[in-house]
Amino acid sequence: MLAYHYSRGDVFEKASRYLKLSGSKAARNHSIWEAYSFYKEALATLHRLPETAENKKERLEVLVSMISPMRLLGYPEGSLGMLQEGEGLCKDLQDNRRLAFFYGSLSFYYTYRGNPLLGVKYSEEALEEGRKSQNMDLIVPIAVGLSASCAVSGQYDKLVAIVPGVVDLLEKTERQSDFFADPVNPYSYLCGFCGMSMGYLGNFEEGKIFLERGLRHAAQIDDLRTLGAVEFLYGVFFCVKGDWKPAVEHFQNSIKYSEKAKYLSFLAWSWAWSGHAYLYLGDPKTGRRCVEKGLKIQRDGGFEVFLPAYHWFLGDICLHLGDLKNARSFMEDALRLSQKNNEKWAEGFSWILLGRILGRMETAQIHKSEEYILRGIKIADELKLKPYYSQVRMFLGEFYLDTDQKEKAMENLKEAEVMFQEMGMDYWLARTKEAMQRL
């Protein structure tokens, strides 16, 4: 009320101060849209005052406060302009610490808006500058943004090469509990992303250690957003391994925490990935309901990142239900979106599943089916996604088995069997052995 009173009386300095305080109060109560609106009004009020050094500092303070609700809301319209304004103010005021924060936030923005490769480029250059100075306030926010961009674009090997060093620095400087103005605790977040990425690369033992570190610390600081994020990453890790029950448990935990914290992105993705896990637990109907619920949250939030995965999950569900027409339609959408959004990992999976669908249609397009699966395996190999590479070898073995090419079938199934045994992927190992018994 005081803010609006001062605003109507053209007392803009006091109006902006009370609007900012109202935004902070709303943020503490997890009223994210309300907080974002108050901060936005505070910024607009400051723009009505003369352009002084003090005014620039005040605007920068508001923009820093806006980052958290902005990200939690999936970067609403106008976010890019405000992030760029913050970047410009940091340069004007020579505030390198906060400049790094805006670099990390811009990396997140580009990732959420369907351009993770630009997000990687933006934060990689900034991270190199931060490393030269060994300044944690520069390094950590940029590493957080870079980890998200690398994960979305499928560059898990790059993420695993960078993040453990940052985690070690946080431990050496005893800054594990510092949030660095981020809405999620960077130490737990980076441990979670590193652990999940190691899973994608087939290093499940070490990946689990990082995820346990991240989850343990998130529980210690008892932060809802951090818990929601790390529980989701742990769930994905188990999905990649094929351990479906613990995957669902972690996704349910993430849904609980993310719902309380109004963390829309992780809420949406946890619903979708839990649907994927339910499919492989033998419950495709529950799986479909979960994926569709996640897709609705994502569409309402308006963010692009991971959008291909929903279509991939729904296509896989339709394939299991024998609805090949809709399965093909979903996978063609997944392929189009993954190419548009530069989500290379999703493109690989889309080619694979589209090939499997074509191979099962009445007018079986055998040559196209094989071609698409081989395209997918090439991408999985390029990205070093060992668990998915071995799965595609198994799918290829099944394909050759169905088309009476027994020699090729045995060759691919044996390769998959060895890799699954090495990685301890028991679900997929059992499925490979079933296929081999058919020979």
Domain boundaries, the chain: 1-92, 95-222
Max Cα-Cα span within the chain: 84
Task: Give the tens place of pLDDT for each residue, 113-170.
Answer: 778 777 787 777 667 766 666 778 878 888 888 898 889 889 999 999 999 999 999 9
Helices (H), 302-405: 307-321, 324-340, 344-360, 366-382, 386-402
pLDDT score recorded for residue 223:
96
Which pLDDT belongs to residue 3? 45
DSSP string, 250-270: HHHHHHHHHHHHT-HHHHHHH
- At which residue do the structure tokens 């994926």 appear? 291
| Cα–Cα distance, 66 to 296 (Å, whole number) | 25
Query: What pLDDT sits at residue 221?
Result: 97
- State residue 187's pLDDT score: 98
Whole-angstrom distance, CA of residue 229 vs CA of residue 119: 20
Q: What is the pLDDT of residue 241?
A: 98
Nearest in space to 103 (alpha carbons), one of 61, 142, 143, 134: 142
Q: What's the pLDDT score for residue 24?
A: 86
Q: Which two tokens stand for residue 70?
A: 């902005």
- Of residues 436, 429, 347, the one with CA closest to residue 387: 429
Report pLDDT for 4: 45
So what's the pLDDT on residue 12? Answer: 63
* Residues in the chain where the model's pLDDT stays below 70: 1-12, 125-126, 129-133, 362-364
Identify which of 80, 74, 86 has the alpha carbon closest to the alpha carbon of residue 112. 74
Q: CATH code for 1-92? A: 1.20.58
Residue 248: both structure tokens together = 């669902």
Q: Is 245 exposed, middle or buried (0-12, 13-18, 19+ CB in 10 A)?
A: exposed
Task: Report helix, strand or coil for 184.
Answer: coil
Tell me the HSE value of 162 on the side-chain side, using a 13 A CA sphere. Answer: 26
pLDDT digit string, tens, across residues 200-226: 999 999 999 999 999 999 999 999 999
One-letter amino acid at 176 equals Q
Q: Is 302 helix (H, G, I), strand (E, B) or coil?
A: coil
Helical residues (DSSP H) of 1-49, grouped into ranges: 2-8, 12-28, 32-46
pLDDT of res. 284: 97
- What tokens does 18 get? 């009370």
For 144, the enclosing helix (H) or strand (E) is helix 136-153
Q: Two tokens at 334?
A: 């997944």
Evaluate whether 1-92 and 95-222 have a shared fold. Answer: no
Distances (CA, A) of 354 to 292, 312, 359, 399: 20, 9, 9, 13
pLDDT over 70 for what percent of the chain? Answer: 95
Asked if residue 165 lies in contact with residue 200, where contact means CB atoms within 8 angstroms, the answer is no
Structure confidence at residue 2 (pLDDT): 45
User: What is the crossing angle of helices 284-301 and 307-321, to 10°?
Assistant: 160
User: What distance in Å separates the CA atoms of residue 25 and residue 396, rounded to the nearest whole number?
Assistant: 56
CATH 1.20.810.10 fits 95-222, yes or no: no
Query: Tens digit of pLDDT for each residue in 233-253?
Result: 999 999 999 999 999 999 999
- Angle in degrees, 0-180, between the axes of helices 307-321 and 324-340, rounded to the nearest 10: 160
Give residue 279's Cα distance to chain centre: 21
Going from the C-alpha of 380 to that of each of 111, 119, 308, 313, 412, the distances in angstroms are: 21, 22, 16, 18, 15
Alpha carbons 277 and 259: distance in angstroms, whole number: 20
Whole-angstrom Cα distance, residue 134 to residue 165? 12
Residue 402 tokens read as 């169905």
Residue 297's contacts (CB-CB under 8 Å, 6 or more residues apart) are 264, 267, 268, 271
**Tokens 């910024």, located at residue:** 43
Amino acid 101 reads: F
H or E element, residue 282: none
| CB-neighbour burial class of residue 117 (10 A; exposed 0-12, middle 13-18, buried 19+) | middle
